[in-house]
Amino acid sequence: MLTSSNTSRAAVRSMASLTRAVSSSSPAAAAAFAARSPAALSSRRLLASNSRVMQQFPRLQSLNSTSSKRAFGTTVRMSSATRIETDAFGEIQPQDRMPEAVVKAFGVLKGAAATVNMKFGLDRLVISNRAIEILGGEKGSKKPVHPNDHVNMSASSNDSFPTAMHIAAVVELENTLLPAMQSLRDALQVKVEKFDKIIKIGRTHLQDATPLTLGQEFSGYVAQLDRNIERVQASIPHLRYLAQGGTAVGTGLNTFKGFDEAIAAEVTKMTGTQFYTAPNKFEVLAAHDSVVEASGSLNTLAGSLFKIAQDIRYLGSGPRCGLGELSLPENEPGSSIMPGKVNPTQCESLTMVCAQVMGNHVAATIGGMNGQFELNVFKPVMIRNLLHSVRILADGMKSFEKNLVHGLEANEPRINALLHESLMLVTCLNPVIGYDMASKVAKNAHKKGLTLKQSAMELKALSEEDFDKYPTTNENDNTTNTDPLLFPTTLVSPDVTAALPETYTIRPLRRSDYQRGYLDVLRVLTTVGDITAAQWDARYDWIASRNDEYYLLVICDGAGRVVGTGSLIVERKFIHALGMVGHIEDIAVDKDQQGKKLGLRLIQALDFVAEKVGCYKTILDCSESNEGFYLKCGFKRAGLEMAHYY
């Protein structure tokens, strides 16, 4: 072990102070620090000054020159001013190709190494030329601080470069990509809610299919991004393991006990995100599966974004001879020769980004395959492609959100026209008139150019009145063409739904339940009266206008007939921090359906609704003879209620 002079120790202390300052300053400062210093803990061939750093720090111009000297035996055109490095083969002037995030990561790593080695009293791990300058020596003289004998002690490019790779990857994924993903996801969720009531024709195999809402279609995009956020987050933990301390082949030769753990702790402190020393250094030097995994998550994200952009692009095609269901924002003139044209440039741009990311992943995958024995030398191409994918995906999503998603509108007249022209609505009549008759109605309508209603009436499959009774979307959807559910089905308990007898369903009340026997079921419970259709509609509209207060559920048998019902009325109070109390009322089951535990299921379902909407308790009235039943349902006796009937 070499002996250092007092001046060398002073230089190390100055270097440690400088690196600590860099660790607490801006990313640009970290990059500048990396640019100022020889690549102490990395291959000096790979570090070059960043042009933006040079502009921010003019003083560095004196350390660089712009030329087209031969580098590695090849004439190259330099993209920016570079620093001339030296090694055993002489002068080297590398091209400016290293990703900025890696340069910054090396700045963090150098700072961490200087701090750790100061703590261990090993002042030979200094940044060579910077230390020489501080000591008043001649830069490049290698005296009194030698770049190999002093600076690279306890380090090798074999472990420092993959360490910088992981630092850069984690920081960029967390600070650049994930925020952009979440922002786009939230913007699409706004459209889900905005388009929730707009019913459109669905499409499978690029052919007409059964209807859904535009909000439901966009909810698929939101779910895709939710899953992709989870995938990216799941790939980050494996990148938190650092190779530093493995030195040349993973054995830790020429380092000292505790160096690797101390480096990981210091990097954690400097970056503000958790890092660990890799438990097996041989794996992190010879293989980079974690980088391939992260790149794979970006590849999956690219596939999802391509689908989303492509869908919106096709749905916005037109304006008159395409689908035209969406109106895209007019960001710029679409054509110099065709006035009024709005091209889907944001969709096209994002899909090109996705294509590039997929290509980057192929290269990263091949790089991951090329670890021979104790070292994978494809590190630069792997981290370059990963960081390139992160950057263009983040930028692409931000642009897509700002310039397209925010201004996206539904073309409702066109949506309605296509919906009512489709023959696939006949699928909704299958449970009513049977598959064979529904098929005849559709074929007759197509052959004669009729609407489904006209065809059904012509074939005497349904009367006009009966045809209008039936919804054009699934019973469990939140909306239909003219017959919306009273509240969203997300408030219906999945457990209760699963516990019902086979073919039975539970859902919110809808207007057409007047024809399905809803009032007859209530008559099992109490007096109802002779309520006309007009009176029913008026009361239904009044209740629907307060759908955060009235929650009415029905259970239907296999034929769609209402066989049970119950109500939850939510009361808002000042007590319990403006709390809410749920009142369960009007539990009724048709006489021929009793014994199937339908009443129990209704109570459980309404109790679920109360909890979901935020009630702090639920109250129900019952006779003393039924007390035992309600105790089994989880309720408790709470005093005695008095009633004054009028």
pLDDT tens digit string along 512-557?
888 889 999 999 989 999 999 899 989 998 998 887 899 999 999 8
What is the domain class of 423-469 according to CATH? mainly alpha
Residue 385 has pLDDT above 70, yes or no: yes
Distance CA 367, CA 280 (A): 20
pLDDT computed for residue 479 by the predictor: 40
Give the per-residue pLDDT at 623.
63
pLDDT at 598: 93
Indicate whether 96 pLDDT > 70: no
Residue located via tokens 């990097």: 267
Q: How many CA atoms lie within 13 A of 393 on its CB side?
A: 39
pLDDT band at 621, cuts 50/70/90?
Answer: confident
User: 318: which 2 tokens?
Assistant: 């037109």
Which amino acid does the sequence have at 406? H
What was the pLDDT predicted at 638?
Answer: 64
Q: What is the mean pLDDT of residues 213-239?
A: 97
Q: Specify the 3-state DSSP secondary structure of 404.
A: helix
Q: Beta partners for 566?
A: 553
Does 137 or 94 have the greater pLDDT score?
137
Residue from 62, 205, 623, 644 carrying the catalytic annotation: 205
- DSSP readout, 468-531? HHS-SS-TTSS--SS--BSS-GGGS-HHHHHHSPTT-EEEE-BGGGGTTTHHHHHHHHS-----
Question: Is residue 7 scored above 50 in pLDDT?
Answer: no
> Does the pLDDT value for residue 391 go beyond 70?
yes
Residue 335 has pLDDT above 90, yes or no: no
Where do the CATH 1.10.40.30 domains begin and end in the chain?
Answer: 423-469
pLDDT tens-digit readout, 413-457? 899 888 877 887 787 788 788 888 889 998 998 888 887 888 888
Instruction: Report whether 612 contacts 491 (CB < 8 A).
Output: yes
Q: Which of 194-208, 243-257, 372-386, 460-474 has the lowest mean pLDDT?
A: 460-474
For residue 137, the one-letter residue type is G
Into which CATH architecture does domain 159-253+272-411 fall? Up-down Bundle (1.20)
Backbone angles phi, psi at 294, to 5 degrees: -65, -40
Q: Is 335 a catalytic residue?
A: yes
Tokens 């890092």: give the residue.
275
H or E stretch covering 353: helix 345-369
Secondary structure (DSSP) of 176-233 = IIHHHHHHHHHHHHHHHHHTTT-EEEEEETTEEEEEEEHHHHHHHHHHHHHHHHHHHH
Q: How far apart are CA 319 and CA 338, in angstroms?
A: 13
- 210: pLDDT confidence band, cut at 50, 70 and 90? confident
d(CA 250, CA 393): 34
Give per-residue burial for 73-98: e unless 16+ CB within 10 Å, then b: eeeeebebbbbebeeeeeebbbeeeb
Residue 602's pLDDT is what?
Answer: 94
Residue 372 DSSP SS3: strand
Please report, for residues 25, 360, 390, the alpha-carbon distance to residue 180 in angstroms, rounded to integers and kept in the order given: 24, 20, 10
Which of 6-20, 174-188, 483-497 shows the lowest mean pLDDT across its residues? 6-20
Residue 231: pLDDT over 90: yes
Q: What average pLDDT does range 623-642 have in this prediction?
A: 64
Q: How far apart, in whole angstroms, are the C-alpha atoms of residue 383 and residue 386?
A: 5
- Of 38-47, 274-283, 346-355, 460-469, the one with minimum mean pLDDT is 38-47
Whether residue 568 has pLDDT greater than 90: yes
Q: In whole numbers, what is the pLDDT of the chain averaged over residues?
A: 81
Distance CA 201, CA 184 (A): 25
Task: Report whether pLDDT(228) > 90.
Answer: yes
Q: Where are the extended beta strands (E) located within 316-473?
A: 326-327, 371-372, 375-376, 409-410
Residue 580 DSSP SS3 = strand
Crossing angle, helix 6-23 and helix 100-119, to 10 degrees?
130
Residue tagged 């494809």 (tokens): 378
8 Å CB contact between 256 and 120? yes
Degrees, nearest 5: CA angle 50-56-59: 95
Reading the block at residue 157, the tokens are 């490019």
Give the position of tokens 């990703």.
Answer: 99
Percent of the chain clearing pLDDT 90 (strictly above) = 48
Specify the residue for token string 């949506």: 415
> Is the Cβ–Cβ distance between 244 and 268 less than 8 Å?
no
Provide the whole-model pTM. 0.61
Q: Is the model's pLDDT at 354 over the cut of 60?
A: yes
Report residue 508: phi and psi, to 5°.
Answer: -70, 155
Residue linked to tokens 């759908």: 547
What lies within 8 Å, CB to CB, of 33 at 6+ separation is: 18, 19, 22, 107, 110, 111
Instruction: Indicate whether 464 pLDDT > 70.
Output: yes
Q: What is the Cβ-side half-sphere exposure of residue 60, based on CA atoms within 13 angstroms? A: 25
Cα(408)–Cα(330) distance, integer angstroms: 10
In angstroms, the CA 115 to CA 128 distance is 15
Q: 148 falls in which pLDDT band (50, 70, 90)?
A: low
pLDDT band at 94 (very low <50, low <70, confident <90, very high): low
284: tokens are: 């992190």
pLDDT at 373 over 90: yes
Portions of the chain given CATH number 3.40.630.30: 489-632
- Which range in 68-77, 147-156, 177-186, 341-350 is most confidently predicted, on average pLDDT? 177-186
84 token code pair: 């001339």
Residue partners of 421: CB distance under 8 A and separation at least 6: none
Stretch 317-345: mean pLDDT = 84
Q: Which CATH architecture has domain 489-632?
A: 3-Layer(aba) Sandwich (3.40)
The token pair that represents 575 in the structure block: 């007590």
Q: State which of 24-33, 241-250, 319-328, 411-420 shows the largest mean pLDDT.
A: 241-250
Positions of CATH 1.20.200.10 in the chain: 159-253+272-411
The tens digit of pLDDT for each residue in 159-178 reads 999 999 999 999 999 999 99
Query: What span, in angstroms and rounded, lies between the C-alpha atoms of 10 and 12?
Result: 5
In angstroms, the Cα distances linking 8 to 14, 34, 35, 515 are 10, 21, 22, 94
According to DSSP, residue 149 is labeled I
Q: Reply yes or no: is the peptide bond before residue 319 cis, omega within 30 of 0.
A: yes
Q: What is the mean pLDDT of residues 485-505?
A: 87
211 strand-pairing partners? 201
Residue of 335, 406, 463, 576 marked active site: 335
Q: Does 126 or 209 have the greater pLDDT score?
A: 209
Spatial separation of the C-alpha atoms in residues 337 and 339, rounded to whole Å: 6
Phi and psi (nearest 5°) for 270? -75, -35
